[in-house]
Amino acid sequence: MKFFILIAIAVVGFAFTAQQKKAEAWKVPAEYKTMENPLANDKASVNTGKMVYMKHCRSCHGNAGLGDGPKAARLKTFPGDFSGADFQGQSDGEIMYKAIFGRDDMPNYETKIPSKKERWAVVNYMRTFKK
C-alpha cells in the first residue's frame, strides 16, 4: 500500500512540473551585464553564499540548484537549472541582478538580503553548481 501511495505522489509531482512553462528571457540592464563580482571566489565567500542560499533560495531552486526544491512544483515557471552551460555562461552581474531583483515567480530580495557582500557571495556559491 505504501508503495502505491509513493507512486501516486511521484505522478502528481511530475504532473505539476510538466505543466510549468519555461521562463521568458530576462531583460538585464547593461550595467549589470558587465558588472564584476568584487568578492574573491574563495572558501569564505562560498560558505557565506551557501548559508544565504540555503535560507532564501533552496526552497525553490533545490540543494544543488536544479530547480527541484520543495516549492518548485507550485510555481508557474520552472525555476531554472543553475548547473548548466546557459546559466553558468552568464556574467556574475547578470546572476546577481536576477537573484536579487527578481520578477514574476522570483521574489525581490533587496530587503531580505541587504548586504552587498552576501549578494555577491550567493553568486560565488551558485558557481559551485557548474557541471
Among 10-24, 47-61, 73-87, 117-131, the least confident range:
10-24
Q: What is the pLDDT of residue 2?
A: 54
Closest CA to 57 of 9, 96, 88, 30: 96
Closest by CA to 97, choosing from 83, 82, 110, 111, is 110
β-partners of residue 77 are: 21
pLDDT tens digits, residue range 31-88?
Answer: 999 999 999 999 999 999 999 999 999 999 999 999 999 999 999 999 999 999 999 9
Cβ–Cβ contacts within 10 Å for residue 123, how many?
25
For the whole model, what pTM was predicted?
0.83
Helix orientation angle between 116-126 and 43-56, rounded to the nearest 10 degrees: 90
CATH topology of domain 41-128: Cytochrome Bc1 Complex; Chain D, domain 2 (1.10.760)
